[in-house]
Chains A and B, each alone.
Chain A
Amino acid sequence: MRNLWLLLQRHAFLLVFALLLAVSLMVLIQNDGSARSSWFRTTGGVVSMVENQQQQWTNYLQLAEQNASLAAENAALRSRLLSMKLTDAWRADSTHGWRVKTGWLVKGPDGLPRTMAMATPGLDDSVRIGTGVLATGTAFGTVVDLGEHHARILPLLNTAGTWSCRLGQNGAVAPLSWDGVDPNKLTLNDVPRYVEWTAGDTVFTSGFDLKFPEGIPVGTVIEEVPSPGSEFKTILVTPLLDLKSVRHIEFIQSVSDSERIVLAQPMPAP
């Protein structure tokens, strides 16, 4: 406090000068229209510049938060749009109708070979074992175990799963699996040698495994793994989305699921 007082004493003349000048300028601005307009224009420009700068900083600092929020909103909208599309498309099919329920991943695949995913809801929302799981319109996995409120999902990124897929809309059907090495490379095995393909071709679900309807996109073709002398070839497929960062999912199951499961069982020997 004493130092402050000494500082004020030392600069008393300057302070009084500034005070008197401020009073004079105030009188001038209040009584001179030209000075007033110029003053307000100048100060307005400065204030605007400072506010713009501040706004830019605020926007920059909130960018990550806004990005996450937009991503969540985008995913929710995509899920909703897909649900609406699927519902509309399959409701018209009286024989093979499907129904969709949205859900959230509690635990996602982490790129390790045996990791299972977990999602909510579970039994309490009529989710059944064998139900297919979509993420933003692409195949994600299938339900293998159920709790009251949660479902355990076998994702595409698990070496235990095999998925019936089709190369292109009307191409050959082959099993898709993951070798547990690179999360960006799934393997389409046992593709007949005569099948032609080009990089970028889309791989769809065939629907033969009764988990997904046919025509759900899974990934795109990257390249063929050389296998000289074999009757079949192996094609590498990259998933359409980063399966490790999925948050919103849709459970998709057939309206006549029970009947399909029963009929899919092997016939007892006569």
Chain B
Amino acid sequence: MIVLRLVLMVALQALILGEVAPFGVWSQPQWALWALLMVPPQLGPFSKLVAGFGLGLALDVACGTYGHHMVAGTVLGGALPSLHRLLAPRDGYEVTSRPIIRELGVNWVLGVTFSSALLYHLTLMVVDTWHAHLLGQAVAPALTSACWTTFCCMLLHLLVIPPGRNATRSS
């Protein structure tokens, strides 16, 4: 299911949703991140790392940006276990926990989503810009894009698995 969700989101972003950028370079969303963020937090770190790498690889193949999303996806996949550990509830995650608002709360979902989006966009900014003297100009668009991506992911959360709805356990 995780793989299917990743493929679906990558395809959607590459074909349709990638163009949803109302403020141009200031709001370039990464919708496919939502699929990675839906990976259950109690899953092993290797799975998250491979999922991040796979997401980047798929996005690069779909968008024709060879290497850019792979680097960003790998960095995010490597950081995701630490992020989940950092934001873990006091008693840890339950075996059946899913990263949705109804189960882990809006604060957790928002925190993980924004942190992940920020890391992803900053890494993407570095590999897109690459030259140190241009990084300063690219920070602000990366920050606003991270905010926009967070907004999009939260929107997907609300649309796909609303807080009041008893979602089907699929992961």
State the A residues within 8 Å of B (CB).
13, 16-17, 20-21, 23-32, 34-35, 38
Contacts and interface: CB of A to CB of B under 8 A. Distances in A.
Contacts of B46: 13, 16
Nearest to B70: A24
Contact of B130 (A16, A20, A31, A38): A38
B41 to A, nearest CB: 16
Interface stretch (B71-79, B111-119, B145-153, B155-163): B71-79
Given A21-B75, A24-B74, A32 B67 contact: yes
B141 to A, nearest CB: 17
A20 B56 CA distance: 11
Nearest to A28: B67
Contact of A29 (B53, B67, B81, B131): B67
Contacts, number: 59
Contact of A27 (B67, B81, B130): B67
A27 B66 contact: yes
Contact of B71 (A16, A28, A30, A34): A28
A17 B81 CA distance: 12
Given A17-B78, A31-B66, A32-B66, A25 B71 contact: yes
Contacts of B53: 20, 24
B49 interface: yes
A17 B45 CA distance: 10
Given A20-B77, A23-B70, A34-B131, 20 more contacts: A13-B78, A13-B81, A16-B46, A16-B49, A17-B74, A17-B77, A20-B50, A20-B78, A24-B73, A25-B67, A26-B67, A27-B70, A28-B66, A28-B70, A28-B71, A30-B67, A31-B67, A34-B130, A35-B127, A35-B130
